[in-house]
Amino acid sequence: MMTDTMDLDSAEKFRQLEQELVAHAPEAIIFDCDGTLTHSMPHHYQTWRDILEPLGVVFERERFHALAGVPSDKIIALLSKEQGIELNFPTLVEAKEARFIQLLHLVEPIVPVVQLARDFHEKMPLAVASGGFRDIVLKQLDHLKITELFETIVAAEDTEKHKPEPDVFLEAARRLSVAPEKCCVLEDSDLGIQAAERAKMSWVDVRPYYPTDS
């Protein structure tokens, strides 16, 4: 069932996304958050630039997207090591998250994906499994008023290893009491898709279902 608020482009993409998902015949669906449910990646990138550029740290857009799914503290540690710039990891993580929260009101849903979650809510178990920190993930879901659609939310704090390792998806499957091979992951990043494959889960790349003007 589609909402009345979807435009023709979103409605068509929703139908295509639903068809692709159903073809996998999952018993549970696991959603990434940033870039999958929420159109937040441009705002995350702006936040990184606001925080890192004054420190002389280079973080190009292509690299940012390549590291999608990696927690903020690990990104900072990686950039610090690569560029030989000493950084205060906890302070920068806190500043980055605080700055993103200031932009939270700008975050919009990725409509076909959110509609899919609404349609499958109560039809089968749904989870969110994200490389983001729990507070940021929950604030986004609350902002879009979709938190209640998901039985469980796995965030960066819940596993020691992160994408492309499968741990976040395996933890979500465990909490849902569904075998990994019966789960389908919706993702927007190459690292996330690698993680789904390592978890032996089917997957759908949501990037073809982004709004045409994205």
Tell me the catalytic residues: 32
* Amino acid letter for position 93: V
Report the C-alpha gap between 206 and 210 in whole angstroms: 7
* Residues 74/96, Cβ–Cβ less than 8 Å: no
- Sign of the Cα pseudo-torsion (111, 203, 66, 164, in order): positive
C-alpha 45/C-alpha 155 separation (Å) is 19
Strands 108-109 and 202-205: unpaired
Contact between residue 134 and residue 153 where contact means Cβ atoms under 8 Å apart: yes
Query: Rounded to 5 degrees, what are φ and ψ at 146?
Result: -130, 5
CA distances from 78 to 35, 83, 89, 145 (A): 22, 9, 11, 34
Is residue 108 classed as helix, strand or coil in its secondary structure? strand
Tell me the C-alpha distance between 70 and 154, whole Å: 14
Tokens 């929420």, residue? 38
How many Cβ atoms are within 10 Å of 12's Cβ, its own excluded? 13
